[in-house]
Structure 1
Amino acid sequence: MSTFSNPANSLILALSKGRIFDDTMPLLAAAGITVTENPETSRKLILATNDPHVRVIIVRASDVPTYVQYGAADFGVAGKDVLLEHGGEGLYQPIDLNIAKCRMSVAVNAGFDYDKAVRQGARLRVATKFVQTAREHFAAKGVHVDLIKLYGSMELAPLVGLSDAIVDVVSTGSTLRANNLVEVEEIMDISSRLVVNQAALKLKRERLQPILEAFERASRLNNQA
């Protein structure tokens, strides 16, 4: 059984499936790199590219910073939401790529009077996977909350009485509307960042720098579009 390694002359990029992967492909193309397999149809978690020295590993979105921090990947793309929860330790974050844009918001059942509950100083039960961000947001507002950590299907929590509100990322809002939930407060805009392992930035700078520069140029064009 062969063991995957990260040799000194190679670069490993950590991505998650879905929107971040899709939005990163044009940035890679700007650097002359194309991924030769589709992670949605391939069962492989390590994908080759047209450059024999560049590979892509497919990991869970919340794990991207960890793979990069510990050097299993040299660089990766992660949402601001994920990086805030991770804390960014051991990571260099050079570029806001202006991709996978969304927002982090507070949402409640359509019939729940959120403003009144906040004004009256009620202790809110809030379900989220973004515990650190939610804690800081409500603390800054002086609102007392009991945070309930969930890993998926946030919209279900208010529907079954598990929570009064949720904190989650919102793109179109269609899932909220389908479940009779409404956004009551926007916490922050979210986009995806390029993160780089600090040791790789020093030891592999010659190989990394052209890709980082291509990403930066392409991200500026994204921002202007």
Structure 2
Amino acid sequence: MKVYYIYHSGFAVETDNFKLIFDFYKTTNYNVGEFDLEKFLDGDKKIIVFSSHSHGDHFNPEILNWRRPDRNISYVLSDDINIKEKDENIHFIESNSSLELDVIKIKTFDSTDEGVSFYVECDNYTFFHCGDLNWWYWPDDTLEEIQYMKNYYTEIVDNIQRRVDKKIDFLFYPVDPRLEDNMFLGVTYFIENINVDKIIPMHFWNNFDVIKQLKEKIKGRKESVVYFDKNMSRIL
């Protein structure tokens, strides 16, 4: 099993039988490793492309241009994404829904921003890609905004706990440094309430140092943080 970090919240995963791409936004020439998107898209394995919501840093309509007659590719898009092209291989999904593609099991959950978050079972691995699901506690929030976000986020985590009965092998979670002292509030609450093995940080705007900070923050817990320091690179 291989995991590649593309950029921002974008990842590519290759298992024995499938290739998965989450929240592709763009490739970058800044601080890059060896990952080649075009090579990843080639081959015989079925490809499933996920987009959690319509924000420009999570969805790029360019992904629809990846379709070719020689590629077995499907899309799972949040239902807030509006595209003109529709076919049997493009699946729109709302929050708190389930979908099976081949042998891949998909469940969606709410987001504290737009769209959905994804839980995916594939080739005996489990993945949770949060999209923009996070405890967004901004430094200038009012007391009302703080309480609203706390209630909203904890309710979603409770729902995940009820509907996911397996350990999450790989948790892709936003650790946004713009939240300052609160940037790890969401991820620590998540792992305190849901069984997770590895945490893969994302949405950190090229500030790779936050990964080291998260490793230090949860030092001594059973979960591990996957460290990486380049875009477009293999991280597992």
> TM-score, normalised to structure 2's length?
0.29
More helix by share: 1
> TM-score, normalised to structure 1's length?
0.30
Higher relative contact order (CA closer than 8 Å, sequence separation 6+): 1
